[in-house]
Amino acid sequence: MVTAAVSSTDDVRARAEAALAGCGVELAAFKGDTLTARTPITGAGLFGLRADTPADADRAVEAAHTAFLTWRTTPAPVRGALVKRLGELLAEHREQLADLVTVEAGKIRSEALGEVQEMVDICDFAVGLSRQLYGRTMPSERPGHRLMETWHPLGVVGVITAFNFPVAVWAWNTAVALVCGDTVVWKPSELTPLTALACTALLDRAAAETGAPAHLNQVLLGAAEAGERLVDSPRVPLVSATGSTRMGRTVGPRVAARFGRALLELGGNNAAVVTPSADLDLTVNAAVFAAAGTAGQRCTTLRRLIVHEDVADTVVERLVRAYGRLPIGDPFRDTTLVGPLVNQASHTRMQAALDRAAADGGTLVAGGERQLAEAAPDAYYVRPAIVRMPAQTDVVREETFAPLLYVLTYRDLDEAIRLHNDVPQGLSSGIFTNDQREAERFLAADGADCGIVNVNIGTSGAEIGGAFGGEKETGGGRESGSDAWRAYMRRATNTVNYSGRVTLAQGVNFSR
Ligand code: UN1
C-alpha cells in the first residue's frame, strides 16, 4: 500500500515556518548560505542557514561555562523549577515541535508526537530528581568520624545528537544535566537544525521566565567541525554523543586523551528471539513496529529476528502479510505508517546491504523496492524489507540504518542466545515466549548481553524511566532515567572528624 501523493515542498516549508514562529524562533537571525535545512519528505532544501564555525563553538563553550559558574550554586530544586517550566512549554508547543520532527526526520505524526512526549516525560523525571540527588553515608571505621559522599555539578556538557531522535535525546541529556547544575552546548545533527532552534528558543524562554542565567544552553548548527571543539575542549568535562559507532570511535579516544568523560550511545544491531511457545499474534504485531516503525531508523530498531525452526515459516508468512499492508508515504498523512528514509545515502546503504545479503544466500521475502519515485524523485521512500538468511554473515552483523529485517532460525535456546550475542553491538534485545524458564534464561547473566533486554516486547520504544544505552560497540553509556544522572555530576567522598583527636584509618600508628 502506498499513499498517493506527497506534500509539496512549499507546503512543508510553510508548516516549518509556522511551527518555528509558534515556538518563538526568529528564523531571519539564523539565515545564511553555509547550511541547508532539508526535508526527507520531498528531499528538497527548505531554508539556507548559517553554520557555526569552530570559533563560534569556542564562544559557546565560554558562555556556557560562565553560566555554569552561577548555575552550580543555584539550589537543585530551584534548577528543577526551570526544567518544570521547560516541560510545560514543550507540552504547550507539542504540535509545532512534532511538525518540525516530521519535517526534518520524516517521522509519522504519532511517532513525532511520541518523541515530543518523551521530552515532556524526561522533564517530569528531572524535576523529581532535582530533590533526589542522593549521596550515601557510610559507617566510618574511626570513632567520632562521619563518612559520606556528595554530588556536585560537573560543568559544561557537550551534547551531540543524531537526526533520528532530534529532540528526545537532547532532552534526556539537557533536562538531567540542568537539574544536576550543568550547562549544555548542543551540536544537533546537521540534518535537523530547525528542531534544535525550536527547542533552544523554548528553553531560553523558560530560563528567562524563571530567572535562570542566560546561555545555559547553546546550540551549534552545522557540520562536524564545530562539534569537534566540544570533543577537544578541556572546558567540557562530559561529552554525551549519540550516533554511529564510527563517530564514537573518534569521539571516545579524543575525549579520553584529555581525561574527559564520554557517554556514548552508538550503533545497535538489535535482535529478538521467537520461541515455539510465543504468542504469535503479539510477536508479529510487536515485530512489525520494531522493525518497520520509524522506517527502521531507530538505534533500537529490530534488525534480526531469531526464530525457532518449528515456527519460522508461520512467523515469516505472517510478517510478510503484515508488511504488505503497511501504508508508506507522506508522514504528514494520518494513515501513513512508514515515512521516508532520511536521504539518498541511507537508501544506497540499504540497497548495498540487500545485495550483499543476496550474495550470502539470503532470500528477499518482502519489500526493498523504492516507492513514490515519480511523485518525489529526490525523496527516498522504500518498502520495508525482510530477508531470510541461512547464516549470520558479515552483513547481518553490521548495522544498516534502514527498514531491513534479517530472519535467522535456531534449534535450541542456547544456539539462539549464541547467535543473538554474536554481533559487535549490544543495545537492545527481546524474547517472545510464554515459557518462564526461557524468559529467565534470556534475562540471566549468560543470556542476552545488551543494555536493554525485554520479554514479549520489541526492541524499540523504551520508556524514559529506565537507563538507556548498551554494551560493546554501542559504547557503554547510560542516559535518561534510573541513576543515569550520576554521569552528569562529580562525586566527592567526605570524611568529617568531630572527635577532637587524630585517628588514622587502617589502624596506622604515626605517634611521635
Ligand atoms: C534512538 O534511537 O537513538 O527506545 C533513541 C526507543 C526510543 C529512543 C530511541 N525511546 O526506541
Q: What is the pLDDT of residues 199-222, one digit of tens each?
A: 999 999 999 999 999 999 999 999
**401 close to ligand 1 (CB < 6 Angstrom):** no
For residues 339 and 460, state if they share a domain.
Answer: yes
> Has 190 been annotated as catalytic?
no
**107 close to ligand 1 (CB < 6 Angstrom):** no
For residues 291 and 229, state if they share a domain.
Answer: no
Q: Give 225-255 pLDDT, tens digit per residue.
A: 888 999 999 999 999 999 999 999 999 999 9
- Atom nearest to 268 CA in ligand 1: 2
For residues 105 and 231, state if they share a domain.
Answer: yes
Q: Give 144-172 pLDDT, tens digit per residue.
A: 999 999 999 999 999 999 999 999 999 99
For residues 78 and 141, state if they share a domain.
Answer: yes
For residues 90 and 127, state if they share a domain.
Answer: yes
Rounded to the nearest 5°, which phi and psi values hold at 84?
-60, -45
- Atom nearest to 298 CA in ligand 1: 2
**Position 15 in a domain:** no
For residues 130 and 255, state if they share a domain.
Answer: yes
- The helix (run of H) or strand (run of E) holding residue 301 is none
Q: How far is the CA of 252 from the centre of ligand 1 (A)?
A: 21
Q: Give 387-443 pLDDT, tens digit per residue.
A: 999 999 999 999 999 999 999 999 999 999 999 999 999 999 999 999 999 999 999
Q: How far is the CA of 500 from the centre of ligand 1 (A)?
A: 54
Read off the CATH number of the domain in which 372 is found: 3.40.309.10
Q: How far is the CA of 35 from the centre of ligand 1 (A)?
A: 26
* pLDDT higher than threshold 80 for residue 4: no
- Atom nearest to 265 CA in ligand 1: 3
**Position 326 in a domain:** yes
For residues 287 and 409, state if they share a domain.
Answer: yes
Catalytic residue among 115, 118, 190, 265: 265
Q: How confident is the model at residue 2 (pLDDT cuts 50, 70, 90)?
A: low
Average pLDDT, the chain: 97
**300 close to ligand 1 (CB < 6 Angstrom):** yes
Q: How confident is the model at residue 224 (pLDDT cuts 50, 70, 90)?
A: confident
Pocket test for ligand 1, best of 164, 300, 429 (most atoms within 8 A of CB): 300
**Position 18 in a domain:** no
- Mean pLDDT, range 171-183, rounded to an integer: 98
Q: How confident is the model at residue 512 (pLDDT cuts 50, 70, 90)?
A: confident
What are the cell numbers at 212?
535562570
Pocket test for ligand 1, best of 165, 169, 191 (most atoms within 8 A of CB): 165
The answer to whether 274 and 308 are in contact (CB under 8 A) is yes
Range of the domain at 385: 270-466
Q: Measuring CA to CA, how many Å separate 275 from each of 310, 338, 428?
A: 9, 28, 18
For residues 357 and 402, state if they share a domain.
Answer: yes
Please tell me whether the overall predicted TM-score, pTM, comes out greater than 0.95 for this model.
Answer: yes
**298 close to ligand 1 (CB < 6 Angstrom):** yes
Side-chain half-sphere CA neighbours of 239 within 13 A: 32
Rounded to the nearest 5°, which phi and psi values hold at 272?
-130, 140
Q: What total number of domains does the chain contain?
A: 2
Q: How confident is the model at residue 223 (pLDDT cuts 50, 70, 90)?
A: confident
Q: How far is the CA of 327 from the centre of ligand 1 (A)?
A: 22
Q: Indicate the SS3 state at residue 476.
A: coil
The answer to whether 60 and 126 are in contact (CB under 8 A) is no
CA distance 379 to 367: 17
**How much is the pLDDT for 1?**
62
CA distance 169 to 188: 10
* pLDDT higher than threshold 60 for residue 37: yes
**Position 124 in a domain:** yes
Q: Angle CA(368)–CA(374)–CA(376) in degrees, nearest 5?
A: 85
Q: How far is the CA of 482 from the centre of ligand 1 (A)?
A: 16
Q: How far is the CA of 453 from the centre of ligand 1 (A)?
A: 14
> Has 95 been annotated as catalytic?
no
Residues of the chain with pLDDT > 70, as a percent, come to 99
For residues 307 and 261, state if they share a domain.
Answer: no
The answer to whether 478 and 428 are in contact (CB under 8 A) is no
Beta bridge partners of 219: 186
**Position 321 in a domain:** yes
For residues 449 and 483, state if they share a domain.
Answer: no
Q: Indicate the SS3 state at residue 122.
A: helix
**How much is the pLDDT for 5?**
81
For residues 189 and 298, state if they share a domain.
Answer: no
Q: Give 56-81 pLDDT, tens digit per residue.
A: 999 999 999 999 999 999 999 999 99
Q: How far is the CA of 59 from the centre of ligand 1 (A)?
A: 31
- Mean pLDDT, range 377-382, rounded to an integer: 98
- Atom nearest to 118 CA in ligand 1: 10
**Position 17 in a domain:** no
Pocket test for ligand 1, best of 159, 247, 289, 468 (most atoms within 8 A of CB): 468
For cell 568520624, the residue is: 145
Q: Give 462-490 pLDDT, tens digit per residue.
A: 999 999 999 999 999 999 999 999 999 99
- Atom nearest to 301 CA in ligand 1: 11
**How much is the pLDDT for 3?**
57
For residues 416 and 327, state if they share a domain.
Answer: yes
* pLDDT higher than threshold 70 for residue 112: yes
**459 close to ligand 1 (CB < 6 Angstrom):** no
**Position 505 in a domain:** no
